[in-house]
Amino acid sequence: MTYKKNESNESLKAYIEGEINDSIGYLETETTHQRQEALEYYMREKYGNEQPGKSQIVTGEVAEIIDGALPQILRTFTASKKAVEFEPVSSGDAEQAEQATNYVNHIFYKDNQGFSIMHDWFKDSLLQKVGITKAYWDDSKDVTTEKYYGLDDNELALILDDDDVKIVSQKTTEEEEENPPQPVMDPMSGQPQIDPMTGMPMMQDVPPTVIRTHDIKVSRESDKGRVKIETVPPEEFLISKRARTIADSDFTAHRKMVTRSELVAMGYDEELVYSLATGDALDFTPERIARYSRGELPTDMDNLEPALELVEYYECYIKTDFNGDGIAELRRVCYASNEILADEECDYIPFHSLCPIPIPHKFFGQSLADRGLDLQLIKSTVTRQMLDNLYLTNNYRVGAVEGQVNLDDLLTSTAGGVVRIKSPNALVPMQVTSNANQSFPMLEYLDGVQAKRTGVSDAQQGLDPSILQNVTATAIAAMTNQAGGKLELIARIFAETGVTSLFKGIFHLVCKYQQKERIIRVNKEFVSFDPREWKNEYNVTVNVGLGTGSKQEQLSTMQMILQKQEEIIKSYGIGNPLVNLKQYRDTLAKFVHMAGFKDDSQFLMEVSEEQAMQMAQEANDNPTADSQVAAAEALAKAEIQKAQMRAQSAEQKLMLDREQMQLDAQKDALELQMKEIQQTKEFALQELELAIKAKGQQDNSSMAKSKTIMDALEKINNITQKGMQR
Q: Read out DSSP for 394-431?
A: HT-EEEE-TTTB-HHHHHS--TT----BSSTTSEEEE-
117 and 216 co-located in one domain = no
What pLDDT is stored for residue 637 in this prediction? 67
What pLDDT is stored for residue 61 in this prediction? 93
Give residue 94's identity as a one-letter amino acid code: A
Helix (H, G, I), strand (E, B) or coil at 321: strand
Q: Over 60: is that where the pLDDT of 1 sits?
A: no
Integer Cα distance of 114 and 239 in angstroms: 25
179 and 264 co-located in one domain = no
Give the chain's domain count. 3
Question: Which pLDDT band, with edges at 50, 70 and 90, does 463 fall under?
Answer: very low
132 and 256 co-located in one domain = yes
Buried b (16+ CB within 10 A) or exposed e, 445-456: ebbeebbebbbb
In a domain, 83, yes or no: yes
Q: Over 90: is that where the pLDDT of 374 sits?
A: yes
Last residue of a domain, one of 207, 223, 239: 223
Question: Which pLDDT band, with edges at 50, 70 and 90, does 372 fall under?
Answer: very high
151 and 269 co-located in one domain = no
C-beta of residue 39 within 8 angstroms of C-beta of residue 129: no
What pLDDT is stored for residue 465 in this prediction? 46
300 and 335 co-located in one domain = yes
Identify the DSSP state of 651.
H
Comparing 289 with 130, which gets the higher pLDDT?
Answer: 130
Integer Cα distance of 702 and 595 in angstroms: 100
Q: Over 50: is that where the pLDDT of 476 sits?
A: no
Integer Cα distance of 277 and 306 in angstroms: 11
What pLDDT is stored for residue 184 in this prediction? 79
Alpha helices, H only, 281-357:
286-291
Q: Provide the terminal-to-terminal Cα distance of the chain, rounded to the nearest Å.
A: 119
Which value, in Å, is the radius of gyration of the alpha carbons in the chain? 47
What pLDDT is stored for residue 701 in this prediction? 47
In whole angstroms, how far apart are CA 44 and each of 41, 51, 184, 646? 5, 17, 99, 73
In whole angstroms, how far apart are CA 38 and each of 47, 218, 237, 482? 12, 53, 18, 26
Range in 17-26, 405-414, 490-499, 616-625 the model is least confident about: 616-625
Question: Which pLDDT band, with edges at 50, 70 and 90, does 2 fall under?
Answer: very low
DSSP 524-575: TEEEEE-GGGS--GGGEEEEE---SS-HHHHHHHHHHHHHHHHHHHHHH-TT
What pLDDT is stored for residue 553 in this prediction? 67
In a domain, 92, yes or no: yes
In the chain, count of helices (H) and strands (E)?
20, 19
Give residue 325's identity as a one-letter amino acid code: D
Containing structural domain, residue 240: 10-45+57-137+227-371
Range in 204-208, 343-347, 457-461 the model is least confident about: 457-461
What is the 3-state secondary structure of 438-502? HHHHHHHHHHHHHHHHHCCCHHHHCCCHHHHHCCCHHHHHHHHHHHHHHHHHHHHHHHHHHHHHH
Give residue 519's identity as a one-letter amino acid code: I
114 and 29 co-located in one domain = yes
If you average pLDDT over every residue of the chain, what do you get? 80
In a domain, 473, yes or no: no
Q: Give the count of beta carbons closer than 10 Å to the beta carbon of residue 629.
A: 15
325 and 245 co-located in one domain = yes
Identify the DSSP state of 233.
P
205 and 327 co-located in one domain = no
Q: Give the count of beta carbons closer than 10 Å to the beta carbon of residue 238.
A: 20
Q: Over 80: is that where the pLDDT of 590 sits?
A: no
On the 0-12 / 13-18 / 19+ scale of CB atoms within 10 A, 237 is buried
Summarize pLDDT for 193-248 with one digit per residue, the tens. 887 787 788 888 778 877 888 888 888 877 778 899 999 999 999 999 999 999 99
Helix (H, G, I), strand (E, B) or coil at 308: helix
What pLDDT is stored for residue 123 in this prediction? 95
What pLDDT is stored for residue 358 in this prediction? 94
264 and 342 co-located in one domain = yes
What pLDDT is stored for residue 679 in this prediction? 76
Question: Which pLDDT band, with edges at 50, 70 and 90, does 304 fall under?
Answer: low
In a domain, 393, yes or no: no
Strands (E), 307-416: 310-320, 329-336, 339-345, 351-354, 397-400
Q: Over 80: is that where the pLDDT of 673 sits?
A: no
C-beta of residue 77 within 8 angstroms of C-beta of residue 118: yes
In a domain, 155, yes or no: yes
**Mean pLDDT calculated for residue range 484-509:** 89
Range in 170-184, 198-212, 703-717 the model is least confident about: 703-717
Segment holding 263, helix H or strand E: helix 260-265
C-beta of residue 544 within 8 angstroms of C-beta of residue 83: yes
Range in 103-112, 194-203, 308-317, 602-611 the model is least confident about: 602-611
Last residue of a domain, one of 371, 403, 433: 371
301 and 187 co-located in one domain = no
Last residue of a domain, one of 172, 192, 223: 223
C-beta of residue 232 within 8 angstroms of C-beta of residue 128: no
What pLDDT is stored for residue 412 in this prediction? 85
Integer Cα distance of 133 and 520 in angstroms: 25
178 and 248 co-located in one domain = no
What pLDDT is stored for residue 33 in this prediction? 92
651 and 665 co-located in one domain = yes
Residues 6+ apart with CB under 8 A from 280: 257, 299, 300, 301, 310
Integer Cα distance of 652 and 69 in angstroms: 59
As a whole-number percent, the residues of the chain with pLDDT over 70 amount to: 82
Q: Over 70: is that where the pLDDT of 705 sits?
A: no
Q: Over 50: is that where the pLDDT of 471 sits?
A: no
In whole angstroms, how far apart are CA 402 and each of 59, 418, 423, 425? 43, 18, 11, 12
What pLDDT is stored for residue 211 in this prediction? 83
C-beta of residue 416 within 8 angstroms of C-beta of residue 448: no
In a domain, 678, yes or no: yes
**Mean pLDDT calculated for residue range 626-655:** 66
In a domain, 432, yes or no: no
Summarize pLDDT for 504-544 with one digit per residue, the tens. 999 889 888 888 878 777 766 677 777 777 766 555 666 67
Q: Over 80: is that where the pLDDT of 156 sits?
A: yes
Q: Over 70: is that where the pLDDT of 376 sits?
A: yes
Helix (H, G, I), strand (E, B) or coil at 316: strand
In a domain, 523, yes or no: no
Comparing 400 with 184, which gets the higher pLDDT?
Answer: 400
What pLDDT is stored for residue 722 in this prediction? 56
Summarize pLDDT for 19-76 with one digit per residue, the tens. 999 999 988 888 999 999 999 999 999 998 999 989 999 999 999 999 999 998 988 8
Integer Cα distance of 493 and 122 in angstroms: 12
Residues 6+ apart with CB under 8 A from 460: 68, 72, 480, 483, 484
Q: Could you give the angle at which helices 473-494 and 61-78 cross, rounded to 10 degrees?
A: 80
What pLDDT is stored for residue 630 in this prediction? 56
